[in-house]
Amino acid sequence: MRLSGSSVRAYADESIAAASIACGSRVLSRSLKYHRPRTFFCFEGHCSGCLVRLGGVPNLRACQSPCTPGAEVEGQNAFPSAEIDLLGAVDFLFSRGMDHHTLMTGSSVLNKLANKVVRQLSGLGKLPTHAAAELPEVGRFDVDVCVIGGGPAGLAAASTTARAGRRTVLVDDQLRPGGSMRTDPRVGRALAEHYGAETVRTGVAVLARSTAIGFFPEDDGGVLAVSAPDRLYRIYARHWIWATGGYVVNLPFPDNDRPGVLAARAVGRLLVDHGILAGERVCIVETPAMEQDVTALAQALTGAGADVTRVPLADVVGTRGRGWITAIDTKRGKLDCDLVAVAATPAPASEGARQQGCSVVLDEHAGGFKIVTDDAGRTSTANVWACGDVTGYQGPAAAAADGARVGANVVEAG
Domain boundaries, the chain: 2-94+109-121, 138-247+351-413, 261-343
The per-residue pLDDT of the chain, averaged, comes to 91
The radius of gyration of the chain from alpha carbons, rounded to an integer in Å, stands at 22
Confidence (pLDDT) at 98: 67
Angle, helices 291-303 vs 264-274, to 10°: value is 40
Reported pTM: 0.91
First to last CA, the chain: 50
Residue range 162-214, pLDDT digits in tens: 999 999 999 999 999 999 999 999 999 999 999 999 999 999 999 999 999 99
Question: What's the CATH code, domain 2-94+109-121?
Answer: 3.10.20.440
The SS3 assignment for 14 reads coil
> How confident is the model over 60-74, as pLDDT tens digits?
999 999 998 888 998
Q: Which fold has domain 138-247+351-413?
A: FAD/NAD(P)-binding domain (3.50.50)
Q: Are 238 and 144 in contact (CB under 8 A)?
A: yes
Number of neighbours of residue 158 by Cβ within 10 angstroms:
35
Helix axes 396-413, 152-163, angle to 10 degrees: 30
Does residue 356 or residue 123 have the better pLDDT?
A: 356
In terms of phi and psi (left: phi > 0; alpha: psi -120 to 50; beta: otherwise), the region of 406 is alpha
Please report the pLDDT score of residue 369 as a whole number.
96
The 51-54 sheet, strands edge to edge = 6-7, 2-3, 72-74, 51-54, 57-61
Query: CATH: 3.50.50.60, 3.40.50.280, 3.40.30.10, 3.40.50.300. Which one for 261-343?
Result: 3.50.50.60
- CB 399, CB 389: distance < 8 Å: yes
Q: Do 2-94+109-121 and 261-343 agree at the fold level?
A: no
The predicted model gives 12-41 an average pLDDT of 85
pLDDT in the model for residue 5:
74
| Position 114 pLDDT exceeds 80 | no
